[in-house]
Amino acid sequence: MKNILYLCLLFIIACTSTESPKESKTANKPYNIIFIMSDDHAEKAISAYDKSLINTPNIDRIANEGILFKNSFVTNSICAPARAVLLTGKYSHLNGLRDNRDRFDGSQLTFPKLLQEAGYQTSIVGKWHLKTEPTGFDYWNILIGQGEYYNPRMIDNGDTISHTGYTSTVITDLALDQLKQQDPDKPFCMLYHHKAPHRNWMPDSKHFDLFTEDLPIPENFWDNYENRQAAEEQDQSIVNMYMGGDMKLQPEHYEGYDYGTGGGPPQFDMEKSWLNNSYGRLTDEQKELWDAHYDPIGEDFKKRQLQGKELAEWKYQRYMKDYLRSVYSVDENIGRVLDYLDENGLAENTLVVYTSDQGFYLGEHGWYDKRFMYEESLSMPLVARLPGVIPSNQTNEDIVLNLDFAPTILDFAGIDAPSEFQGESLRSVMEGNTPNNWRKAMYYHYYEYPHGWHKIKQHYGVRTDRFKLIHFYNDIDTWELYDLQEDPTEMNNLINSSDHQDLIEELKLEIQNLRKSLDYKEV
């Protein structure tokens, strides 16, 4: 109510002001917000973080004109749960969405509902993936489930509509249309959510020619998982990727080869799904361009008859090239949105955030996918810009979480976060003034086992600036400790190290304290 009164007051001031309308609008209007989230985008695949794989000038632009977070983490590294944390500002055990099988309870309090109450125009365009209809949005236009890379079907405020074209571009076209249609006198918050670069990495045909050179293979690609049982028993190794769905080969090209387990449940037929639902949904024109690129790769593969180590490394190159091409389209389309803000005088008054629902493995430990509390999937890229408020060219190393998004967005909108939100506003951190009592440790919890994909054991743990302690449970009972300073790629489990036993006890206590503070019933 206070906020509505505030907005009314601003309106009266704006109407009676002697300043030109343009000046008063900029000076008084609450900030707009564009929250960009992609899917499964590893930090390493953004040049602002790491220049070894790809150039992403548009995401880099947000970072350069604002802040880049180096220690930004998710509380549960998997798609739908991360999205529920974003909306509710609560951990999975409280928002009810522990894994991709659960449905989101849209009746609970979310930050878009509070923005709506305060007079914001709220919208979400692109990936949603929460099974129930969006609540708290004036406009929603979402992909069905995981969504498709080409010619996506989308639900526009309840109506299913089939689009033609490449999904990253289709989503951006719809987002720009919505920005154009909004009431320019009211602030807005748009969640602009890409499907890419989620598996199965189908690039836009105009990017097929990128990344022709082979990419560097991570040092620990041939990890033997010594002393790490959960890592050994996963099913997310690149060597087992699907020949069709992941490698984009046609059946005649991989005759005599295993199709690959691909991490899926046994009843899931990826071979059929790929041919009918993914490749199968391309238009004749799209298929022609597709085949012109992938058929020669398939013919070459058939001729070479690779096996063992050579086959695994070939699969890595195939995976990485399509992954990076899919990222490239996300970056290019973000550039279109940044241009729109520039051209319409909105850049100065709009908070722009870029992040991903979590990180991803790009060959580290021999893997793709996410889920584990290890660095590559625990980390999410996070950059943000608001000229004049967030100083430019900042790099920040504080521990920040996806749990913090809801209170942060509310803070920039001038709304107090409800006490049930568990995160902290990042506004002062973004402004370059981290509070002295900022968190020194974060708690993590992953649940999707034994059902679901990839056979990653349930686990929880704590990460501080230097150490990480993880407990894998359910059908195993193993602990792992890493010294991230000495062992950044987490290859050396120190759980039995005599020098670290006191530290392990301290970290176990820290886990208990964090669970208590986060309202776990069992501590």
Residues 153 and 160: beta-carbon distance below 8 Å: yes
44-83 residues near Ca ion, rule: CB under 5 A: 79
Distance in Å, CB of 80 to Ca ion, minimum: 8
Distance in Å, CB of 43 to Ca ion, minimum: 14
Q: Which is nearer to Ca ion, 172 or 377 (CB)?
A: 377
Selection from 145, 177, 418 nearest residue 277 by Cα: 145
Selection from 409, 416, 354 nearest residue 32 by Cα: 409
Binding residues for Ca ion, rule CB under 5 A, total 4
- Residue showing the smallest CB distance to Ca ion in the complex: 79
Residue of the chain from 39, 60, 99, 204 that contacts Ca ion (CB under 5 A)? 39
Q: Which is nearer to Ca ion, 394 or 402 (CB)?
A: 402
How far is residue 520's CA from residue 260's CA, in Å, rounded to a whole number? Answer: 39
Selection from 175, 120, 156, 111 nearest residue 7 by Cα: 120
CA quadruple 46, 49, 55, 56: dihedral positive or negative? positive
Query: Which residue carries 């320019």 as its tokens?
Result: 184
- Segment contacting Ca ion (CB under 5 A): 35-43, 245-253, 373-381, 408-416? 35-43
- Segment contacting Ca ion (CB under 5 A): 31-39, 137-145, 199-207, 337-345? 31-39
How far is residue 448's CA from residue 453's CA, in Å, rounded to a whole number? Answer: 8
> Phi first, then psi: what are they for 226, rounded to 5°?
-60, 130
Q: Which is nearer to Ca ion, 39 or 331 (CB)?
A: 39
Query: Which residue carries 């100083």 as its tokens?
Result: 391
What is the amino acid identity at position 95?
N
Residue 357 near Ca ion by CB under 5 A: yes
Residues 373 and 69: beta-carbon distance below 8 Å: no
- Segment contacting Ca ion (CB under 5 A): 43-51, 151-159, 315-323, 349-357? 349-357
Residue of the chain from 37, 38, 40, 368 that contacts Ca ion (CB under 5 A)? 40
Distance in Å, CB of 254 to Ca ion, minimum: 27
Residue 376 near Ca ion by CB under 5 A: no
Pure H helices in 125-220: 167-181
Q: Which is nearer to Ca ion, 357 or 480 (CB)?
A: 357
Question: Would you mind telling me the total number of residues written for the chain in this entry?
Answer: 523
Residue 99 near Ca ion by CB under 5 A: no
Distance in Å, CB of 132 to Ca ion, minimum: 18
Q: Which residues bind Ca ion (CB under 5 A)?
A: 39-40, 79, 357
